Amino acid sequence: MSGFVGIVNPDEMPVDRDLLWQLTRSVAYRGPAAEDVWIQGRVGFGHTMLRSTVEADTEKQPCTLDGDAWITADCRIDDRARLVGELVSGGRSCTVATSDPELILHAWAVWGADCVQHLLGDFAFAIWDRRTSSLFCARDHMGIKPFYYSPAGACLVFGNTLNSLRLHPSVSDRLNDLAIGDFLLFGLNQDPGTTSFRDISRLPAAHTLAWQDGRLDICRYWTMPIDPPLRMPKRNDYVEYFLELLRTAIRDRLRVSSVGIFMSGGLDSTGLAAVSKELAGVPPMLDVSAHTVVYDRIVPDEERYYAGLVARHLGMSISFYPIDDDDFYPHDGGFQPPPADPAFISETGPQTYSRELRGIGQKSCVAFYGEGPDNALTYEWKTYVARELERGRLGSIMLEFASFPFLFGDLPFSKRLGRKKHADKELSAGMSFPSWLNRDFERRFHLRERFAAGGIPMQSEVHPYRPVGYASFQNQLWSLLFERLDPGVTGIPVEVRHPYLDIRVLRFLLALPVLPWCRDKYLLRHALRNRLPAVVVARPKSPGLPVLELERRFPERVASEVFAQESILCEYVSHSALQVIAKDPLDLYFVNLRPLTLGFFLRSSSRPCII
């Protein structure tokens, strides 16, 4: 994940070269291979290079094809043969070996702002077009690559690292109180277009930004399509088609010599490992390694056993990272880089990700993360059956029911699946309005009413067959996950890629007939049954890592110090929060830990931004 920054000044005010270099060097840790700036009068781009694809070996940024349109980007463009074919048909001269930012420039030359309709992959980029004196920026469909901007006075400052924008003298450190309120209520900011800093905005996923003559225009260019249920002649056709899509998604993300996989002992991440090893070939053309966080003492944890079993089965190296003795927060609050949002240091400790990322970074600059199937294969049988009956498909429903004893060894709906009990417990934890909010703060921002409404309603169509699974991909938790894993938060130059979140894969999974493919993720279990050990394929979904056990060991003395040192914290919460943290029931512990997390954020975010 390369780093980039940009400045567009008003009228003919030239860009300050020293300032642009300062912003660029603040993200040097993201791209250790090279750094450069480009200035053309009132416009300037800065870039630091992480060479994370084969095509990037000779890449240089910022770059141009014709001297008129310039780009700075953090991007990986997939489905390159299809795109190159379209570009050649449009009169462009390019090949599949053309670098990713140059492909975007070719697309810009052919389609202009509609270029995003032809791009597939993970990207955040900015293009300055000298002919129209305009800036065009975009963020990928799922929002895997971050993009921040600030209309700082009469100029526009932007980049893919929030802290770099804070170095611009026109960007203040004032907090966005409503975003802070959202964190205290819900654990994360509910507005996809804002950040915890008042002067800095976030470009939401699947949106473009246009800037011309001081006018800012933000547009959504894509929403997840709602496809009709997919019907294939044979049951095995579903499995083969899924595997081919997954291979394609992984192959597009394997344009490197080595990759590390965040691998638990569960089905999703081990499935990525199995297919990646297949694509590596025999003898292997690339190194695939596994990296697993484990608990060895404080709680029962079987991840070491199951992950190790898969690694031996696939013949891949594996590194284990015991975190029994880790502290949830650094005692001195010394996060590096400083957190740009309190949610980045809550729920799952940043040290957990850092352990694995540092291990992966010793071999590779690319990691795979296996999130996605739990949401895409949500078992929504009631909605599915109701819709199918409306369409007069009683016969097919009866046949699907009849297959259950052979596929699962029981009758339809005879057992509760997945993590429902755990999910219900999490839901109940969020139903109580926090008692420790500062009353004036609560009244000024109508937080009680906001809490009752559940935050900002998601603007999304309702999927007729898969309403829960479809809507889950509009959740702000995805943006939080992607940004937590981003080098701008971790400080580690490793790019995390998400093969299951490839748009082609997601559309297929959301179009699957719910019966039987979504029950207990039957599709994955069937597809991987000859690729993984049988005990792993049959393993039920395990509960999440017991982070609460680590948090409970956090000394109250440290909490007292944080409250005492961060006087601004009292503008948001009352002192009673300190007592509540230690005394409330365990299922409310995540909620009541938020004031302490906010205190650490306030302490750390005031530190210098350059690391």
pLDDT at 567: 76
- Residues 167, 22, single domain; the answer is yes
Select from 220, 249, 281 the last residue of a domain.
220
- Residues 540, 485, single domain; the answer is yes
pLDDT at 408: 72
Q: Is residue 583 part of a domain?
A: no
Q: Is residue 345 part of a domain?
A: yes
Residue % of the chain over a pLDDT of 90: 66
Q: Is residue 574 part of a domain?
A: no
Select from 544, 571, 602 the last residue of a domain.
544
Contact 495, 503 (CB under 8 A): no
Select from 189, 220, 251 the last residue of a domain.
220
pLDDT at 427: 39
Residue 89 is given by DSSP the state H
- Residues 148, 290, single domain; the answer is no
CA distance 601 to 339: 6
pLDDT at 425: 39
CA distance 489 to 473: 22
Place of tokens 């980007």: 73
- Residues 263, 181, single domain; the answer is no
Q: Is residue 227 part of a domain?
A: no
Sign of CA dihedral 200, 201, 203, 204: positive
Q: Is residue 458 part of a domain?
A: no
- Residues 244, 179, single domain; the answer is no
- Residues 299, 191, single domain; the answer is no
- Residues 201, 248, single domain; the answer is no
pLDDT at 401: 79
Q: Where are the alpha helices (DSSP H) in 228-348?
A: 235-252, 267-280, 303-314
Place of tokens 């207990």: 520
- Residues 339, 274, single domain; the answer is yes
Q: For 175-210, how does the pLDDT look when each residue is reduced to its tens digit (9 = 90+)?
A: 999 999 999 999 999 999 999 999 999 999 999 999
Give the count of alpha carbons within 13 A of 39, CB side only. 14
Q: Is residue 431 part of a domain?
A: no
Closest CA to 307 of 325, 292, 289, 296: 292
State the residue range of the domain holding 292. Answer: 235-376+463-544
pLDDT at 611: 52
| Under-50 pLDDT residues of the chain | 347, 350, 416-430, 550
Q: Is residue 484 part of a domain?
A: yes
Total of domains in the chain: 2
Q: Is residue 412 part of a domain?
A: no
- Residues 171, 108, single domain; the answer is yes
pLDDT at 563: 67
- Residues 213, 314, single domain; the answer is no
Domain harbouring 195, CATH code: 3.60.20.10
- Residues 274, 174, single domain; the answer is no
- Residues 213, 242, single domain; the answer is no
3-state secondary structure of 136: strand
Q: For 523-567, how does the pLDDT look when each residue is reduced to its tens digit (9 = 90+)?
A: 999 999 999 999 999 998 766 555 555 455 555 555 666 666 667
The answer, as to whether pTM is greater than 0.85, is: yes
pLDDT at 141: 97
pLDDT at 454: 84
Interior angle at CA 353, CA 358 and CA 290, nearest 5: 65
Domain harbouring 469, CATH code: 3.40.50.620
